[in-house]
Structure 1
């Protein structure tokens, strides 16, 4: 069977993606998810509206994970605005550093005990 060309038109159906079930997928106006584009006085109100849509979304967690994997610079993704995502990433990095430090300390303690036993 011949291999399909990578230049073939995108006529084949694709596997369902989590974003197809997203609450925002049905909205006509997605601009509320990018409140930075609104006048300063409306940013908080628009952000709150976007987060309300996210709160009822069946794929909230998948959206949040996707936004955290690729650093989305703007907008509301997975119910988090850009500052909340930045803080979330910092917390994750701190936890990872602490975990690595604990492992190093445990490894150093284990090596010292093994040398004492010998």
Structure 2
């Protein structure tokens, strides 16, 4: 029987290095980072377990940056859960609004002078 050539497996092709290649969570089941509090265990306990992998992770800032820029709505990313990331975004939005107000006030004060 003749051999039929197999298509190239995409996982064997070279790819550029990615920040996640150095993540401390590499090889850990993905479900760990999406706690739902199954079996009577509060989701906060599951989240704390997931966050424990992030403590010494060398790519934690990259992971958090990814979650914030891609608006990851669920799970633990960069050591923060979805509520903590939402609060971080709210704080950044308030700070940006405050800065814009101050700039407008300065601009109107200098044009009035």
TM-score range, shorter chain: 0.7 to 0.9
Higher mean alpha-carbon deviation, 97-106 vs 41-50, is at: 41-50
Q: In 1, distance between residues paired with 2:72 and 2:50?
A: 16
CA shift, 1:26, in A, is 2.7
| SS of residue in 1 equivalent to 2:94 | helix
Say whether the 8 Å CA contact 1:36–1:75 is kept in structure 2. no
User: Could you state the TM-score of these two structures normalised by the residue count of structure 2?
Assistant: 0.83
Say whether the 8 Å CA contact 1:23–1:58 is kept in structure 2. yes
| SS of residue in 2 equivalent to 1:36 | coil
Match of 2:82 in 1: 82
What is the number of equivalent residue pairs in this alignment?
105
Structure 2 residue 78 is the aligned partner of structure 1 residue 93: no
User: RMSD of the alignment, in Å?
Assistant: 1.9
- Kindly provide the CA deviation profile for residues 87-110 of structure 1, in whole angstroms up to 9, marking residues without a partner as x: 110000000000000010111111
| SS of residue in 2 equivalent to 1:57 | coil
Q: In 2, distance between residues paired with 1:82 and 1:75?
A: 6
Q: Which residues of structure 2 form unaligned runs of 5+?
A: 1-8
Which one has a larger percent helix, Structure 1 or Structure 2? 1
Q: In 2, distance between residues paired with 1:18 and 1:92?
A: 24
Match of 2:15 in 1: 14
Structure 2 residue 67 is the aligned partner of structure 1 residue 61: no
Q: In 1, distance between residues paired with 2:91 and 2:22?
A: 29
User: Could you state the TM-score of these two structures normalised by the residue count of structure 1?
Assistant: 0.80
Q: In 2, distance between residues paired with 1:110 and 1:38?
A: 59
Match of 1:4 in 2: none
CA shift, 1:44, in A, is 1.7
Say whether the 8 Å CA contact 2:37–2:46 is kept in structure 1. no
CA shift, 1:39, in A, is 4.1
